[in-house]
Chains A and B, each alone.
Chain A
Amino acid sequence: MSLFFLRRLIQLIPTLAFILVVVFVLVRLLPGDPTSAILGDRALDADVARINHDLGLDRSIPVQFVLFLKAVATGNLGNSITLKLPVTTLIAQRLPVTVMLTVMAALMSLVMAVPLAFVAALRRDELADSAIRGTFQVGLSMPVFYLGLILLTVFGARLGWFPVGGYGDSFGEHIYHLFLPAFTLALSLAAILMRNLRAAIIGVVGAEYVVFARSKGIMPGVILMRHVLRSALISTVSLFGLSVGTLLGGAVITETVFAIPGAGRLMIDSIYGRDYPVVQGMTMALAVVVSLTFFLTDVVEAWLDPRVAR
C-alpha cells in the first residue's frame, strides 16, 4: 500500500518537469515580449533593447533555461518583471487565496451534492428528483461570470448580506468574502457530482449485495452509509479529483468578477504582460496543487476500494 503511494509521488516529478519545460518554452514563443508589453506602444527601440538586456531576455532560450534551472536549484524563481517582486513572494501571497477559494468551493459542492444525490436517487423520477436535477441543470448551464454577477447584485448590493467582492483582512473576513464566489464556483461542480453520484447510487441500490443486506434485515440507514455510499462514491471521488483543475480554471474568472486578489487573476495578468517568471512560477505552483489533489484522490480511492492500490 505505502509502496503504491510512494510510486505515485515519484511519478509526479517527471510530470512537473515536463510542465516546466513546456511552459518555459511556450511562454517565450508567444508573440511580443515582456518589455514591449510593459512599455507599451510608446517604447523606443533603445529602451526595449536596454531592458531586455538587463533582464537577460536577449539570450537564447536554452541559455535562459539553464540559468533558470540554476536559480531554481537555489530556491529562486526570479522576480516578476512587471511587479518587481520575487515570484516566491507572489506565490506565497496569491496561491493561498486561490487554494482557499477552491477548497471552500469543493466543500460546498460536496455538501450540496451528496445529500441531494441520495434524495434524487431514492426518489427517482419523482417530483423531488426532477426539481433537484432541474435546479442543478440551470446552475450548470449558467456561465460563472453571469451567475457571479447575479449573486453579487442580489445578495451583495440589494440585500447587503454579503460584501460586494474583495477579500477582507482576517481569516473570518476571508471566509465571509469568499462565500459567494465559492458558491458560484461550487454550483456547477455540485451539478456534475450530483448527477454522477445519483447514477452510481441507483446502480448500487439495485446490486445483489444490497438486496442481500436488506433481506438480512439490516437497518436501511446502515445499508446506505456502509454499503451504498462507499461503493457509489468511488467514481465520484475520482471525478471530484479531476474537477479540481477545472475548479482552479473557474477561479480565474470568479476572482475577476469578485475582485479577489488570487493566483488566477495574477496568472491572467502575467500572461497578457508576458511576465515570464511569474507565469513559470505560478504554473509550477498550480501544477503542484493539482498533482497533490490527484494524489489525495488516489489515497481516498484506495481507502474506499483497496483493490485500487494493489
Chain B
Amino acid sequence: MKMVASAALAAAILVGGSISAYATDRGGVMTYGRYADSLFLDPVLNDANVDIWILSNLYDTLLLPTDDGQGVQAGLATEWKVSDDGMTVTLKLRDGIKFSDGSPIEASDVIWSLKRAAKPDNGIWGFLVSAIKDVTSGADGSIVISLSRPDPSIIPALTVFNTAIMPEKLFEAMPGKDDAEKAKAFAEHPVGSGPFMFQSWERGSTMKLVKNPYYWAMGDDGKPLPYLDGVTFEVIPDDATRILRLQSGELDGAEFIPYARVAELKADPKLDMNLYPSTKIEYVTLNVRPQVDGKDNPLSNVKVRQALNYATNKDAIIQIVTQGVGSPMKSFMSSATPLNSGTGPLFPYDLDKAKSLLAEAGYKDGFSIDLLVLAGNQDETGIATALQQMWAAAGVKLNLKQVDNATRTDLYRSGKFSMRLGAWTDDIADPSEITSYFAYSPTIESQHSGWKSEEVDKLFEQSQSERDPAKRTAQYARIQEIANAEGPMVYLYESPYPVALSKKVKGFIQIPLGNNIFRAASLTK
C-alpha cells in the first residue's frame, strides 16, 4: 500500500485550498446559526451529529479529511505509513505541537487518546478503530499502531472525530470515579489542539470558541491559522428565524436552510447560498422478513421491492422535496463515498415495468402497506405523500403512520415495521461504515430489515482486511451490485448541505462528512 505522504505534499494540498489573489483579512468573530445545540463535547463518548460536526474545530486529529471528504491530509502527524503486511501504522508527529492551554502534545497523549477511542464498550464509535490492538511510541518518538488484522480503513479512521488527541493529564485529573464521569467534567470546558478553543457555553443558546494561539497550520499570509478571532454558535431551532437573523446581519452564516428557500436566498445580493456536496442520502427501508406482525409481507419478494423502486419517480420527488437541488442515487451509498461503483440512476421510473413485476410476484391487484413517517418533518411528509400517489398508480395503497423519532427508532430496532423513511451521512471517508449498517447482516440485520446475502456478508468480511486496493474495489463493486438490485431499499435521492453565508465570509466549508470547518474561514472587512 502506498499511503506515504511527505510534509511537502500535505502542505501543498493545504495551501492549494486557500490560494487567493489578495491576502485574507484577519480578525473578527464569525457568528453561525445552528438548528440545534451540541450535547456532549467528548470525542469518544458523544453520539450525535450536533457534536460530531463541530468537534474538529476544538480537537485536532492525527490526520485530517480533505475538503472533498474522500482523502486524507496531514494533521498532528506529518507522515504516515502502513507496513507491507498491513499490520502496523507508523506516524511521525509534527514538531512543536501544543494543546490550546500551551502544554506540549506528547506521544503519551496520542497513545492514551487512541487507546481510549479503541477501548471496547467505550462509546459507540469503537467499531471504526476496532482493528487497533496496541499503540506504542518508537525510539524516534514516532507513533506505532499495531493492528489485530490488516484494516484498509485505518488511515481514514485517523481523521475521524473519535480519534482526536486529548490531553491525558488534564483529563485524568478531572473529578469522577471512571472515564465516563471524568469525560462529563472535561467536556464542560474541553481542551484540545484544534484551530479554536472553548471559551463559554450557555446551553441551548450560545457557544463561544476563540482562536487557539498554538494552532500549527499556516494561513496564506504565512501566519498561523485561524484567521478569525473566534466563532460563536447561536442555537436557533426555527428555520424562518434563523434565516431572518442572517438577513438582518446578526448572523454571518446559517445551516440547514430549507430547500424551499434556497432559490430566494440565492437571489439575495448580501448572501452566498452554498450547496456543499454531502454524503447524505434519503431512502425508504423495507422490511423483508416473510412475516411482519403475524401477517404475510409482500416486501419479502424481491420483485415487489424492485417494482416499488420502478414505481417511484425520483426526479419528481427531487423537484417536490428538494426544489431540484438533489440528485438520484446511483448506489446505496452516496456518490461522495469512496468506492461507490454506481454508473447511472438506479431503477429509472417505469410504471409499466413496476406493474408487470408486481403481477409476476402475484400482486396484480396490488396490496396495502404502512410507512413510518417522522411527524412534523416537512421533507418526510413531502416524500411520503408523493410516494402515496405514485404507488397508487401501481395499485399499492400506502398508509402513512406519523410517529416521533424515539417511537420510530423503537419499532425499527425491534423489526416491527413494514417501511420507514430514513436519512444517512457517512462519518468516515470509507465505504465500510455504511456497508456494515446497510448490507452486511451481522451488524444490524441490514438496517433492521432482515435482509441477508451470504455473498455480501462474505465479501464484506474479506474487504475488511483486504490490502490490495484493486481487489477491495472489486469486492465493493460486487457488494453494491447485489445490494442495489435486491436490497431492502427504495432509493430516493442524494442532497447537498444547504448553508447560507454572508458575502463577507470566505473560506468556510462543510465537508461531505458534515464537519463544519472554520479553520480557514475569514470575514472580509
Residues in A lying within 8 Å of B, measured CB to CB: 30-34, 36-45, 47-48, 50, 54, 82-85, 90, 93-94, 145, 149, 152-153, 156-157, 160, 163-167, 256-261, 265-266, 272-274
Contact = CB atoms under 8 A, between A and B. Distances in A.
B204 A41 contact: no
Contact of B203 (A32, A37, A93): A93
A167 B240 CA distance: 17
B409 A40 contact: yes
B248 A157 contact: yes
B410 interface: yes
Interface in B421-480: 422, 437, 443-444, 447
Contact of A84 (B187, B408, B410): B187
A259 B235 contact: yes
Interface string B293-326: 0000000000000000000000000000000000
B238 to A, nearest CB: 5
A94 B204 contact: yes
Contacts of A36: 406, 409-410, 413
A42 B237 contact: no
Contacts of B47: 38-40
A261 B248 contact: no
Q: Which 7 A-B pairs have the closest CB atoms?
A: A32-B406, A261-B204, A261-B205, A32-B410, A37-B406, A259-B236, A157-B248
Nearest to B205: A261
A152 B246 CA distance: 13
Contacts, number: 126
Given A40-B47, A266-B204, 20 more contacts: A31-B410, A32-B409, A36-B406, A37-B406, A39-B124, A41-B447, A42-B437, A47-B124, A82-B40, A157-B245, A157-B248, A163-B250, A165-B238, A166-B236, A167-B205, A259-B237, A259-B245, A272-B404, A272-B406, A273-B406
Q: Which of A42, A85, A273 has the largest number of chain B CB atoms within 10 A?
A: A42
Interface in B359-405: 403-405
B406 A259 contact: no
B204 A43 contact: no
Residue in A40, A156, A167 with the greatest tally of chain B CB atoms within 10 Å:
A40
Interface in B219-250: 234-238, 240-242, 244-245, 247-248, 250
Contacts of B245: 157, 164-166, 259
A37 to B, nearest CB: 4
A163 B245 CA distance: 8
Contact of A256 (B234, B238, B411, B422): B238
B121 interface: yes
A84 B46 CA distance: 11
B184 interface: yes
Nearest to B121: A50
25 contacts: A31-B403, A31-B411, A36-B413, A37-B406, A40-B47, A42-B124, A47-B124, A83-B203, A85-B203, A93-B203, A156-B244, A156-B248, A164-B241, A164-B244, A164-B245, A165-B236, A165-B238, A165-B241, A165-B244, A257-B238, A257-B240, A257-B241, A258-B241, A272-B406, A273-B406
Contact of A38 (B48, B204, B422): B48
A41 B422 contact: yes
B425 to A, nearest CB: 11
B204 A44 contact: no
B87 interface: no
